[in-house]
Amino acid sequence: MSDLKPSPRRTTKPKAKSAVPAKAVGKAVRLRTPKPVDRATMVEIFRRLQEANPEPKGELDYTNPYTLLVAVALSAQSTDVGVNKATKALFPIADTPRKMLALGEEGLKEHIKTLNFYNTKAKNVIAAARRLVDEFGGEVPNSVEILETLPGVGRKTASVVVNIAFGDPRVAVDTHIFRVTNRLPLANTKTPLDTQVALEKLIPAEYRLHAHHWLILHGRYICKARRPECWRCPVNDLCRYPDKTIP
């Protein structure tokens, strides 16, 4: 029947053909969503990351759990370098919730006005300090669930704080870790929370404490968003990312 001419009364236009054949589209999708690495490969990935950087450290400056909490909260939509510049003069005079309240919202703004959304951040930091003083005796609780209830503190910030300040093996997920996780891939995920849940379940216990730092530093300096530097990646032979920048 394919050789019959269309009826002259037909007014609807035929659908435009896709510029890319359906088979090719399907193939491309499959190539860009490879199966996550197996456990043995994951162990080797983290073994190499540990070998390259045995004691990874975050790049935010802080002096205690409270200043760490403030620094991480201020880092949203801002660089670590920018936050460190802003807190260099802040933390010597406001390194506890009580001192932060004494400084006040306007005083805090003067220190952090170089950061994005500093008005909102100042409001949240002061409100969080008030709750820490009123409900927790001025101490930062070692609990992701409690920290998440503080103004301006989300799952990522809370997880970073308990990981670094208290040695809780939580894997906070930012854009770098989300990218690296799905490129290798350690897991195929759609949201940061999905990624954190997957990583905390899959990463071997002996590597989980420092996993956050290894992955974020790897994503920040090697597995970059626009052009990953695969030529110097210590795990490039284990990575399944289809768009590697090496032959």
239 is in an annotated binding site: yes
- Of the residues 134, 174, 190, 244, only one is catalytic, namely 174
- Of the residues 156, 194, 237, 243, only one is catalytic, namely 156
For the beta carbon of residue 10, count every other beta carbon within 10 angstroms: 8
User: 156 catalytic, yes or no?
Assistant: yes
15 is in an annotated binding site: no
Q: What does 155-221 look like in DSSP terms, one character per residue?
A: HHHHHHHHHHHH--------HHHHHHHHHTTS---SSHHHHHHHHHHHS-HHHHHHHHHHHHHHHHH
Count each helix (H run) and each strand (E run) in the chain, helices first.
Answer: 11, 0
Q: Is 115 helix (H, G, I), strand (E, B) or coil?
A: coil
Contact 153/207 with Cβ under 8 angstroms? no
Contact 142/113 with Cβ under 8 angstroms? no
Provide the annotated binding site.
Answer: 223, 230, 233, 239
Provide the annotated binding site for [4Fe-4S] cluster.
Answer: 223, 230, 233, 239
Active site residues: 156, 174
